Amino acid sequence: MPDIIHYAIPGFIVLMVVEAMVSSAQDAQLYELKDTAASLAMGIGNVIIKLLIKVPIFGAYMFAHQFAIFEIGNGWQAWLALFFLEDFTYYVFHRISHQCRFFWASHVNHHSSQRYNLSTALRQTWTGNLTGFVFWLWLPLLGFDPLMVMTMQAISLLYQFWIHTETIRKLGPVEWLLNTPSHHRAHHGSDTKYLDRNHAGILIIWDRLFGTFQVEEETVTYGLTQNISTFNPIKIAMHEWQAIWRDLRQPNPVAVRLAYVFRAPGWSHDGSRKTVKQMQQKLTSAARSPLSAQKETA
């Protein structure tokens, strides 16, 4: 089962070098050595873990495929349908990865860099592949060949490499259909208005349809709402899991402990923390309050 991502690695390196040279020539300071090294270490770890679990995941897809509802085949119509269905599946998975702390614990490392460059694309999860594959099981169950599903997943991931850059600005009409560097910069923003927006893989249409789209407006501040301030790849990969474990050890009822695992990141039983939804509601209320005051004065 060859992985096209592995063949693309030399191209990734070449493009990162080119981007770093452009950054240096423009004095843009897109790269920082320790940050880039941390991203590369995360990428290497991800590749190794994927190699170890690829066969079990393929086995799970094959098992589901035994009970396929339809005989879809592998013609061009099947590939076209799979393109849209896989991309929609990625959107759902990515959105849930931001809205459920259990999945966020694996995904958060991808957002942990305060830089935004092509090396950030390689800052991939070490734990997400152990659970994330369940979102795609419905595709072989529907009737798509497991090899086709895994190939389309790789194509999606390959596409998403180039959108991790500040050197490409907005792309005109393309912005309406495809996920672009501009859309994904907003996704990586820690500014309240950008949080949990633009979950697209290849097509931005899902965000537009389901109300999670946000155009890039003000300059994006990258990173997390509470940055972890470390370049240690082990800490980057595991810090949220450690935080979940600390919450689980607190003397709370079982229902509360489970809520700390499966409710939105930032949820707390005593209101001591804020979820993205609460932060955005507060921002909206603050924006409306001057207008209310003007009406009252009038």
| Encoded tokens for 264 | 């939105």
C-alpha–C-alpha distance, residues 221 and 53, integer Å = 35
C-alpha–C-alpha distance, residues 264 and 152, integer Å = 29
Q: Which long-range contacts (CB under 8 A, 24 or more apart) does 131-137 make?
A: 131/102, 131/103, 131/106, 132/93, 132/97, 132/103, 132/106, 133/57, 133/60, 133/61, 135/89, 135/92, 135/93, 135/96, 136/61, 136/86, 136/89, 136/93, 137/60, 137/61, 137/64
Per-residue pLDDT for the chain (298 aa), expressed as one digit of tens each? Answer: 557 888 899 999 999 999 999 999 988 889 999 999 999 999 999 999 999 999 999 999 999 999 999 999 999 999 999 999 999 999 999 999 999 999 999 999 999 999 999 999 999 999 999 999 999 999 999 999 999 999 999 999 999 999 999 999 999 999 999 999 999 999 999 999 999 999 999 999 999 999 999 999 999 999 999 999 999 999 999 999 999 999 999 999 999 999 999 999 999 999 999 999 999 998 888 887 755 445 444 4
What's the pLDDT at 3? 73
Contacts (Cβ under 8 Å, ≥6 apart) of 239:
108, 109, 228, 230
What's the pLDDT at 291? 52
C-alpha–C-alpha distance, residues 230 and 242, integer Å = 15
